[in-house]
Amino acid sequence: MKKLIFTLLIATSTGLNAQIMVVNEIETESPENFSTMVTQWMTAIKTTLEIEDAKTYTFAEPGTKKIQFLQFHESLTDMVASRNRQDENQEKIWNTLQSMEPLPEGTVATFNDVTSFRESSVWEFMPELSTTPETWSVLSRAEKDEQFYRRVQYVNVKMNADNAYEDWNKKMNALDKKLGISYHYAIFKSVFGAKDADYMVMCIDKSQFDYFSNWEKRTEIREQSAEYKALVGELSISQWSVISEYTWNRILELTF
């Protein structure tokens, strides 16, 4: 099972500008041990395959034992090609691991005891439903690194309601732009996977406090708009709903 975890972790190339996002959910009793093991493994991969910036992102769910390990690819074809490249170089990767400074005694055994893979899901980024092509892509790496917080919602739609849901989001984004509202908002559509959801909505901010403060300001502006009230009315009789919501906090030192 632990080998499966690492198999899922190692194919990487990324950014919210990429089209495919892979989310690996892992549960650990020891974030410190997880950090040590993943850092060693990712260092071996980057060294072996001469990857300067693998650009993976790790998030913790506050109040839980869950770690979310995200990877991005330009396409499904790119995802498969990356996976194949890892498979073809497994022996070289293991040789690199063996040449590195050994981990503290008991690190691997502890990892096997306290860490387990839960699920993997694959999502396609929907730029036409998102604000991030305009708000996120223009930021510098340093500015992006300041944005630690993710508010993640999973949305389920009824059969044949995909178009209605997507059209509603386009209307809302257009209205926000008209009202002068700007924030980092990304939507992904399910390709394979978890949570029984059709879409993932991700809002990005610097902290949970900033998210709710900015959400309150957005809401105050929206509620003064008759167009917004009409869209909310449309939502209330719609064919979709938020089925779960999570907080993810980025672990900056586990970006590879």
What are the structural domains of the chain?
Answer: 2-121 (3.30.70), 127-247 (3.30.70.100)
State which amino acid sits at residue 38: V
- DSSP code of 225? -
In the chain, the N- to C-terminal Cα span, in Å, equals 23
Give the pLDDT score at 1. 42
Calpha distance 58→24 (Å, rounded): 10
Which one, of 43, 42, 37, 40, lies nearest residue 107 by Cα? Answer: 37
- CA-CA-CA-CA torsion sign (143, 145, 149, 155): positive
pLDDT of residue 18: 63
pLDDT in tens, the chain (256 residues): 444 444 444 433 334 456 999 999 999 999 999 999 999 999 999 999 988 877 789 999 999 999 999 989 888 898 888 888 888 998 999 999 889 999 999 999 999 999 999 999 999 999 999 999 999 999 999 999 999 999 999 999 998 899 999 999 999 999 999 999 999 999 999 998 867 899 999 999 999 999 999 999 999 999 999 999 999 888 777 789 999 999 999 999 998 8
pLDDT for position 6: 44
Phi-psi map region of 160: left, alpha, beta (phi>0 left; psi -120 to 50 alpha): left
pLDDT the model gives residue 15: 41
Cα–Cα distance measured from residue 42 to residue 27, given in angstroms and rounded to the nearest whole number: 18
